[in-house]
Structure 1
Amino acid sequence: MIERLEAVPGTEVDDDLTAAGLLASIRSARTAEDAAAARQLDLAARWADLHPPESIHSAATFTSGRGIGMEVEEPIAGEGCPTVAEFCVAELGTVLGISTVSAKRLIGHALELRHRLPRLWTLVQSGRVAPWRARLVAEATIHATPSLTPEAAGWVDAQVAAVAGRIGPAQLDRLVAEAIKRHELAAYDPAADPEDGYLSVDPRHVTVHGEDVHFAGTVRIEAEVDLADALDVDRALVHGAELRKALGSTESLDVRRAQALGDLARTQTALDLHSQGRAATPSTQDGLPAAREVVLHAHFDARSVEDGDTVFGPTGRLEEGQRLLLLEQVRSWCGDSRTKVTVQPVIDLNAHLEAPGYEVPDRIREQIILRDTTCVFPFCTRPARGCDVDHVIEYDHDAEAEGRPQPGPTLTPNLGALCRFHHRLKTHTAWHYDVIGPGEFEWTSPHGHRYRRDPTGTTPLDPLVIPRPQRP
């Protein structure tokens, strides 16, 4: 049985279309999509033009890092592009329904294309190159190491434009590397193959993608190391996997290799701690201290039964990455003799906690972290545990001395989790928010756009107004 679906206005499709007609319609839709994306890039660049850095604003940058807890500032576009007031990015992001980081990336790509990759920009605006392809090139030239000068970026632009943007990631990497070599941005290695497009730029790194936690409680580790080191690691993993199999493990080879990598890390940590002669720490049966120092926050529903015991639900939430977690996984971690497990007291998220003064005590901070889970700015997903706890109504430090009631007391209904950027945004700009319920906030932007933020996410409160196209 075939049901007839009601078409969304403006997207009606003739039911009598042939296969060729359907393909033509799909192609037409893709062309319209690319044109809209190119227009969005142009508008993002114009938005940046309206917001140069002001006296109280810094230029917008990216905060990124190679590992958990390691952060560096990177420009949103390369040398020669205009800088942008950091706080203007948030309003663009919320209007588009994306995070501030994604809005920075959109503006950065637009400026990089317009100012440093002008040939590619022209091809995008004329519809000859898909915007997503051009943005891949912009991403590569913005974050190249070492940084590309305007001349080096222009050389990449010329090469990519010559093939109308049809270039794969590997070819793009080679072009960027050759641009670095041609413009002497890094020392040349005479031993390197002169026919190879790569330089003596050291590509070694180990990156732990700690913010992208799989529901199974795993993370990706990406590395590029010396060949000799890679062979040594591989031999160690082969040995570790075979040892686990000999001891009775029925896991797959891939799982045993992953476990062997963890064994390597824990063994080294334990040896280091043991040799340093630290003060007494919880030790295992072999006399070595507990080596696993990674902290994970898992939350499970619990209930008391008649005999006074506490029973946990089968599924919970891993705070890192906001992922589903199984109770059996936690039990397996607890079974590792080198894993230290701490159980925190149950916190009632609906209780109204209060403290005198401005400082937020740990018990209230933990309640806010668990209630909000992330920064409560529209579309922000930064985990609340790394955020500030903000007084929604500002705390008046002079109220008590002047005998006035405190307008912004330190109590649960007046607190919200804000990442450092959005905390500064709220403090220094016309953005403001109000509490409308437990863990529920209503934000208003400088241009009057309103957003509701609650535990389920962000909801725009303004009707979508699409301007009529102007006749030429």
Structure 2
Amino acid sequence: MATRELHDCDNASALLAYVGARRTAAARAEADQLAAAVAWAGMHSTDSYDEAATLVPGVEESLTIAGPGAPLVAEFSVLEFAAALGLSSDAGRMYLGEAVELAHRLPQLYARVQSLDLPVWKARRIAKTTLDLPMAGAAYVDAHLAAVAHKVSIAQLDRTVEEARVRFDPDEALARQNAAQEGRHFDIETRQVSFDGCVDVHGTLDLADALDLEDAVARRAHDLSALGLDAPLDVRRSIAVGDLARRQLSLDLAAAEPEDRPKARQVLLHVHLSEAALAGASTDLDLARVEETRSFVSAEQVKTWCANPDTQVIVKPVIDLADHVHVDAYEVPDRLRERQVLLAAHVRVPVVPETSPAGGLRPHRPRRPRWTDL
């Protein structure tokens, strides 16, 4: 059926079909514009024999717009393309560079854009973060994100790019880590107080310090609720920070028993060794994965945390995920449950209610657990 114009949509179904068709057309137009940028860069590449790629002697230079391995382009061609898009010279250069980055260094992601399986904006977001990666790092990102880039979060995209940087450009990753450590801060805007008497607090902390602070604030907020404070969670958390500052957590006012409260930092490490590590091969920068935050840090950072005299280090047996463990009991042992969680990386819980014969809802009766539900 031919696509109707908006004024011809006389019912809800026709209007939804119109919207869907326009969205597809818009996605196609964006993908075609990206392909045009790639063709323009190829036409003006310094490696091209096209007459348009000829540089003006003494006036024009070749320009790097994408990562290592991508072609260089004539300087003036960037300005012409930016003008055609109605963008500034800097914005046009960024657009052209991200298009070239996708076509030449992230070909699988570029193919998904052209098949309309991946939005242009998300592909450009990935390309922007891979511009300074070596060729092997860009290939790593392309291989790991091509099939899932359309549905994963921006945070996961950034984690994948960062892991590629650590693996294939460890010197740069270490330099960024040191710069981040130097950039830690904690600011309380006491000079910007209005009539409401509230101030903003913001900062950047080491991961271990942030987890400790989160644990202390969460526990104190829970205690305040147990002690009868009828306030929203966010309000209780803000009060908890003040209690920490006044050291009221040391008083015996908590709802929980003192022995139930952790007295020191606890470090729980899940160590996963790669085949290269098992074979004795060394890497430039060893990684330790923090599963609770879905992130990774350097092994040196873990050593720093464990060297803290207030840290309680918990040592657990290494779980071989390739091994087959059998039990002869109905109950699932903790070691097997943890093993299945590590393998599946998620927990499935039945939440769909069942309908009774009378037409009402009745509580869902738990079925016998299966290994995939652990």
TM-score of the superposed pair, with normalisation by structure 1: 0.37
- Larger RCO (CA under 8 A, 6+ residues apart): 1
TM-score of the superposed pair, with normalisation by structure 2: 0.45
